């Protein structure tokens, strides 16, 4: 077996590096962990002789994160308003019903999960919501909800009906005679008018039946 000669190995490695291209030398220089101490010294000398500088490789950017899968239950968790409560006692009544049914609910603008946890102002009513998936059970529980303090429905005054007046003497003693033409006449497509007679002066006229202010 031939004895290893460190001097000959050094020369052979130095000659090998001299025959390598610049790009090959730079590739080796960027992988120092793969070289022996002697190889690193010889490579460093060859790089210096050629005036080559080892530039650090640009870091490889990490792959973009995979998009998160769409939440299949997002629509089920959407909050839907159940009702508006107008007093603390109505809020507690509704909370008791929903708690017994095991239905999570959210009250007030901050979506508190209990009446005690919310900063509630009942002056303009407080919204109570539940997740969409729980609506059928919430509706069943709310059949027993009997609010005490809901505001009364505002009464809308009906417009006063104007009396029919005679165009001649302005008397309200007016007698409705008939529709002209007769609505039973299928062949006549004209708009019907109302025939009137004044019981005071006997004046007869037709109009569209809409009372107008004099």
pLDDT tens digits, one per residue of 55-76: 766 667 777 777 766 666 788 8
Other residues' Cβ atoms within 10 Å of the Cβ of residue 98: 22
Determine what percent of the chain falls in helix, strand and coil, rounding each to the nearest 5: 35, 15, 50
Is residue 143 within 8 Å of residue 101, measured between CB atoms?
A: no
Give the CATH number of domain 79-144. Answer: 3.30.70
Instruction: Tell me which residue of 23, 147, 30 sits closest to 83, measured CA to CA.
Output: 147
User: For the ranges 59-63, 92-96, 128-132, which has the lowest average pLDDT?
Assistant: 59-63
Is residue 78 within 8 Å of residue 131, measured between CB atoms?
A: yes
Confidence of residue 94 (pLDDT cuts 50, 70, 90): very high
pLDDT tens digits, one per residue of 4-51: 466 677 888 888 888 888 888 888 888 888 888 888 888 888 888 888
Pick left, alpha or beta for residue 153 (phi over 0 → left; psi -120 to 50 → alpha; otherwise beta).
beta
User: Considering the chain, what is the average pLDDT of its residues?
Assistant: 81
Structural domain spans, the chain: 6-50, 79-144, 161-214
Confidence of residue 129 (pLDDT cuts 50, 70, 90): very high
């Amino acid at each position: 077996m031939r004895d290893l000669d460190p001097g000959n190995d050094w020369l052979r490695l130095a000659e090998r590096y001299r025959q390598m291209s610049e790009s090959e030398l730079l590739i080796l220089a960027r992988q120092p962990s793969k070289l022996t101490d002697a190889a690193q010294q010889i490579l460093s000398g060859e790089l210096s002789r050629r005036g080559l500088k080892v530039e650090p490789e640009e870091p490889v950017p990490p792959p973009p994160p995979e998009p998160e899968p769409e939440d299949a239950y997002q629509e089920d968790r959407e909050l839907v308003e159940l009702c508006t409560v107008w007093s603390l006692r109505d809020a507690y009544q509704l909370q008791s019903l929903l708690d017994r049914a095991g239905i999570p609910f959210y009250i007030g603008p901050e979506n508190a999960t209990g009446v005690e946890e919310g900063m509630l102002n009942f002056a303009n009513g407080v919204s109570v919501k539940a997740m969409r998936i729980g609506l059928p059970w919430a509706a069943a529980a709310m059949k027993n909800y009997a609010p005490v303090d809901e505001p009364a429905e505002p009464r809308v005054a009906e417009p006063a009906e104007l009396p029919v007046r005679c165009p001649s003497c302005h008397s309200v003693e007016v007698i409705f005679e008939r529709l002209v033409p007769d609505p039973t006449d299928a062949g006549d497509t004209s708009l019907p008018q109302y025939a009137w007679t004044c019981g005071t002066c006997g004046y007869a006229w037709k109009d569209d039946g809409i009372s107008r202010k004099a």
